Amino acid sequence: MSLSDHLTARIRADGPMSVADYMADCLLHPQFGYYTTRDPLGAKGDFTTAPEISQMFGELLGLALAQAWLDQGSPAPFTLAELGPGRGTLMADLLRATRGVPGFHAAMRIHLVEASPALRTAQAKALDGYAPQWLDTVDALPDQPLFLVANEFFDALPIRQFIRAGDGWSEKRIGLQDGALSFGLSPAAPQSALDHRLADTRDGDVVEICEAAAPVTQSIAARIAAHGGAALIVDYGDWRALGDTLQALRAHEPADPLQTPGEADLTAHVDFEALAMAAKTAGCAFTRLTPQGVFLERLGITDRARALAAPLQDAALDSLIAAHRRLTHPEEMGNLFKVLGLCPPRAAPLPGLNP
């Protein structure tokens, strides 16, 4: 039995499935899921993320979060949380960078929201000595001040895809053609969740909805609004996304999303507007989107790179320079990736972000 067999059997029994159901099975099926069964990160894996590119990323996010904590009067105890921590690299860098912030480590209670048993093991190793608590969902986060980071978490949540047809929408579905997985379309129907998109789309446009994103954001935002705190959400995407952004990556190369289910990473761009609106519903304030490159420059990445560069030469120096460029340059990750901040309505502005 493989994931392909499972998907084929499921489609034969229940008919074509939504892209969201397909993504959920591919990424998190308990037995065959991509994240459940492996560590996909790094040079030998399928993709690389900002914290894996350089320690500077986690350090600066950590200091930004610690500054927000100081600005709100150093509440204690507080939850220090990360969503989808991968190998635990960002959290390890964040913790090292914040060691000198008076009271921060004594007051923090680390919570990691992680679905993958394989990655939980990697996180435990990276955070040896810190005793983090693992949670299955954000709803289990304690009711206390919440300072949270999420890098490339929301892009892994399943999306549904719709194609505009008149005043209705056809949903993209995955069925079988000659025994192989293939895309098809449901008959067009009205979709109340997409009413706000009738004004800015035309026939044939593709719009994606991530149904899981709003409840996750609301749950975080409600804690921040009630008890104080901040969230830094970093991902690729835009305000009010448009178009088909479903993407499969395997061994750092784009792949066909239907070709090797469970063996490629599947992601979609994040619709930050949906996250911001969910936060607002929960009584939280949100910042305007800030490009990752601008955010990191404002937090002082160039000074940090200079300090790290001082003792280096040759290949090590080249690789540090390349990492700085990769994280910040507009043609690399600097512009594609955006940062959204959440904080209580009258809190001090979050460091590095457009208010």
Q: What residues line the site for ligand SAH (CB under 6 A)?
A: 35, 41, 49, 51-52, 84-86, 90, 113-116, 119, 151-153, 156
Instruction: Report the run of H or E that residue 342 belongs to, with start and end.
Output: strand 337-343
283 alpha-carbon distance from chain centroid: 22
Q: Any idea what DSSP says for residue 188?
A: P
What is the smallest separation between the CB atom of 122 and ligand SAH, expressed in angstroms? 9
Question: Under a CB-based contact definition with an 8 Å cutoff, are residues 120 and 186 in contact?
Answer: no
What is the smallest separation between the CB atom of 335 and ligand SAH, expressed in angstroms? 18
What is the smallest separation between the CB atom of 116 and ligand SAH, expressed in angstroms? 4
Question: Under a CB-based contact definition with an 8 Å cutoff, are residues 59 and 323 in contact?
Answer: no
In one letter, which amino acid is 223?
R
User: Cβ-closest residue to ligand SAH?
Assistant: 84
For ligand SAH, give the closer residue by CB, 98 or 116. Answer: 116
For ligand SAH, give the closer residue by CB, 115 or 163. Answer: 115
For ligand SAH, give the closer residue by CB, 83 or 163. Answer: 83
For ligand SAH, give the closer residue by CB, 153 or 162. Answer: 153
In one letter, which amino acid is 61?
L
What is the smallest separation between the CB atom of 57 and ligand SAH, expressed in angstroms? 8
Q: Which of 266, 267, 285, 265 is nearest to 275 (CA)?
A: 285
Q: Which residue has the tokens 């178009």?
A: 243
In one letter, which amino acid is 333?
M
Task: Give dist(CA 78, CA 14) in Å, integer.
Answer: 45
What is the smallest separation between the CB atom of 23 and ligand SAH, expressed in angstroms? 10
Q: Which residue has the tokens 């904080």?
A: 343
- For residue 64, give both structure tokens: 């930004």
Instruction: Report the run of H or E that residue 29 belongs to, with start and end.
Output: none
Residue 58 CA neighbour count, 13 Å, CB half: 21
What is the smallest separation between the CB atom of 103 and ligand SAH, expressed in angstroms? 26
For ligand SAH, give the closer residue by CB, 164 or 250. Answer: 250
Q: Which residues touch 99 (CB under 8 Å, ≥6 apart)?
A: 105
What is the smallest separation between the CB atom of 32 and ligand SAH, expressed in angstroms? 14
Q: Which residues touch 105 (CB under 8 Å, ≥6 apart)?
A: 95, 98, 99
For ligand SAH, give the closer residue by CB, 14 or 136. Answer: 136
What is the smallest separation between the CB atom of 82 and ligand SAH, expressed in angstroms? 7
For ligand SAH, give the closer residue by CB, 94 or 156. Answer: 156
For ligand SAH, give the closer residue by CB, 62 or 86. Answer: 86
What is the smallest separation between the CB atom of 181 and ligand SAH, expressed in angstroms? 21
Q: What angle, rounded to 10 degrees, do the helices at 55-71 and 301-309 form?
A: 130
For ligand SAH, give the closer residue by CB, 36 or 74. Answer: 36
Give strand ranges (E) for 158-202.
160-165, 168-177, 180-185
Q: How many CB atoms lie within 10 A of CB 338?
A: 22
